Amino acid sequence: MTYPSDPANALEGARAVRQKLAEKTRCPPYMHAVFGALMGGLVASEGASDRATLVIELAILLLALLLFIVQRQRLGFFINGYRRGRTRPVAIALISVYLILFSLAAGLKAVLGLHWPALVLGMLMFGLATWGSSAWQARYQAEMAAPIEAA
């Protein structure tokens, strides 16, 4: 026999599970800075010689892969940053800013031979990516804590 409150209880149970998942995936503040350093490092790498840029970018790629592996082992899963929901606009904004700053750094290096702007733009990317990672997590937490709507 079913009771009218069963669907409501099921939805509340699902919300509680989502809230636990959100809490489990909350990362410490230094992880936001690590993400910012990876993104900022990619932009700043344009300040190096062409060969060194490739080496730095490869090292950052390997560090990102290591970070992925460690997080997946720690949690047992990995949450895609480009997932649907409230977090997607933050991810799109971050990648857009990255592409603009990286292109600007690469362009100034290629056209004018200027290497130092890449370092400044890399620092800017570090700050924006660190903030963006925190904003992404806050949106994810809010989305997971929100009430689940009945179908």
Q: How far apart are CA 125 and CA 101, in angstroms?
A: 7
For the record, the structure tokens of 136 come out as: 């992404």
pTM, 2 dp: 0.82
Contact (Cβ atoms closer than 8 angstroms) between residue 60 and residue 52 = no
Q: How far apart are CA 98 and CA 43, in angstroms?
A: 8
Q: What angle do CA 81, 82, 87 make, to 5 degrees?
A: 75
pLDDT in tens, 23-36: 777 788 898 999 99
pLDDT in tens, 63-113: 999 988 988 887 776 676 767 778 899 999 999 999 999 999 999 999 999
Nearest to 115 by CA among 36, 35, 64, 56: 56
Q: How far apart are CA 110 and CA 49, in angstroms?
A: 11
Nearest to 150 by CA among 44, 8, 4: 8
